[in-house]
Amino acid sequence: MIRAEHVSKTFKVARRNAGFGNAVKALFHKEYTDIHALDDVSFDISGGEIVGYIGPNGAGKSSTIKILSGILVPDSGTCTVNGRTPWKERKEHVKHIGVVFGQRSQLWWDVPVGDSFELLKEIYRIDGAQYRKNVSELTDLLGLGDLLLTPARSLSLGQRMRCEIAASLLHDPDILFLDEPTIGLDAVSKLAVRSFIKTRNKERHTTVILTTHDMNDIEALAQRIILIGKGRILMDTSFAGFMKRADDAFRQNRTCGAEGEDNRLELLTASLYAEFGI
């Protein structure tokens, strides 16, 4: 369903150094550095999978998501989602995906959430009956209730995130990209979001690509893990395989930090990153 083959992407970033002298120099001559965001990335994801896409900051996760969404064009390599190239057939491709960016909202800020949903209905040309069915279903499953009458700006982060997820599913997409969906959420909201995603995947076979730093999210949801570091795919296994590998890495490098029950996953992951040198 999602296939990426030898995808590469390099960015040029202007370098700005601090200090007065450097600022004057910058007036006349700008320096650029090359950042290899993605280097020969390939993977194959089938329909109905929940994939945890992890890696340290700057590893290339957002670039991959942008390419899969059709927002970014890679320098080389091919990518198809359901037979379509995302950036070439933007409108058609985008009809079948839902994207949730953790920090940026897709809801209109000053109006009730319900109004945002109505507008999305028009944008995605969702049939009236189907829309009403989806809204009532999502409201039940995510516990939205009165939230539909509240403006987005008045919602707490947990409430807003649940509305965001609902908004991204109104048009019944086959694929859901979740970028840091539980960041900043309280425990109750996190559990609600996780259980919802799991149910959705089971009942509708929605493919879910999850990028997150929260390893508990990964543990709860991901059946498969793709680890990316410095632009390269370092690991592409099942969750069990990932845990075993991380366990081995932890045993070999015990210097990572004090072990406790609640940061065990973080420790394991950190050891793995250390082993890969990322």
Partner 1 sequence: MKNRSDPRTCRSAGGLSQYVCFFRIRFTASLQYRASALAGIVTQFAWGGMLILLFRAFYESSPAAFPMPFSALVSYFWLQQSFLTLLAPWAYNTQIMDSVQDGTVAYELCRPADLYAMWFTRNVADRCAKVCLRGLPILIAACVIPEPYSFAPPPGVQNLLLFAASAALGSLAVVAVNMLVFISAFYTTSTQGMRLLFNTTAEFLCGGIIPLPFMPAGVRTVLAFLPLGSVENTPFLIYTGYYQSTAAVQGLCVQAAWILVLIAAGRAWLARSLRRVVVLGG
Partner 2 sequence: MNLYWKYLVISLKGRMQYKASFLFTTLAQLLMSLSSFLVVYFMFLRFRTVRGYSFSEVLLCFSMSLLSFSFAECFARGFDRFSTFIADGTFDRMLVRPRNLIFQVTASTMEFSRAGRFIQAVPVLVYALYAGGVRCTPGRVCALVLMFAGGSALFAGMFIVYAGLCFYTLEGLEFINVFTDGAREFGEYPLDIYGKRLLMFCTFIIPYALVQYYPFLYVTGRSGRVWYGCLPLAGICFLLPCLLFWRTGLRHYVSTGS
Residue ranges that bind partner 2, judged by CB under 8 A: 9, 11-12, 37, 63, 66, 69-73, 75, 87, 90-92, 94-95, 97, 99, 101, 104, 106, 108-111, 115-116, 118-119, 122-125, 151
Decide: 221 and 53 in contact? Cβ < 8 Å. no
Nearest to 225, CA basis, from 213, 215, 235: 235
- Rounded to whole angstroms, the Cα distance separating 117 from 238 reads 36
Closest to partner 1 by CB, 23 or 123: 23
Question: What does the radius of gyration of the chain's CA atoms come to, in whole angstroms?
Answer: 21
Nearer to partner 1 by Cβ, of 155 and 272: the residue is 155
Pairing of strands 2-15, 31-45: antiparallel
Nearer to partner 2, 44 or 110 (CB): 110
Pick what 27 binds: partner 1, partner 2, none; C-beta below 5 to 8 Å, kind-dependent. partner 1
CA angle 115, 69, 108 (to 5 degrees): 20
Q: Which of 117, 129, 125, 214 is nearest to 168 (CA)?
A: 117
Smallest separation (angstroms) from partner 1 to the CB of 271: 32
| Near partner 1 by CB under 8 A: residue from 13, 23, 149, 188 | 23
Rounded-to-integer distance, Cα 87 and Cα 94, Å: 10
Q: Which does 26 bind (CB under 5 to 8 A by kind): partner 2, partner 1, none?
A: partner 1
Show contacts with partner 1 in window 27-86 (CB under 8 A).
Answer: 27
For partner 1, which stretch binds (CB under 8 A), given 18-26, 88-96, 143-151, 195-203? 18-26
Q: Which is nearer to partner 1, 48 or 151 (CB)?
A: 151
Residue of 16, 205, 254, 264 that binds partner 1 (CB under 8 A): 16
Best CA proximity match to 190, nearest among 227, 168, 159, 169: 159
> Which stretch in 19-27, 33-41, 56-64, 66-74 sits in contact with partner 1 by CB under 8 A?
19-27
Closer CB to partner 1, residue 18 or residue 129? 18
- Give the Cβ contact number of residue 234 at 10 Å: 17
- 104 near partner 1 (CB under 8 A): no
Query: What whole-number distance in Å separates Cα of residue 76 and Cα of residue 10?
Result: 10
E strand or H helix at 63, and its extent?
helix 61-69
3-state SS class at 180: coil
Whole-number minimum distance, CB 210 to partner 1, in Å? 30
Site of interaction with partner 1 (CB under 8 A): 16, 18-20, 23-24, 26-27
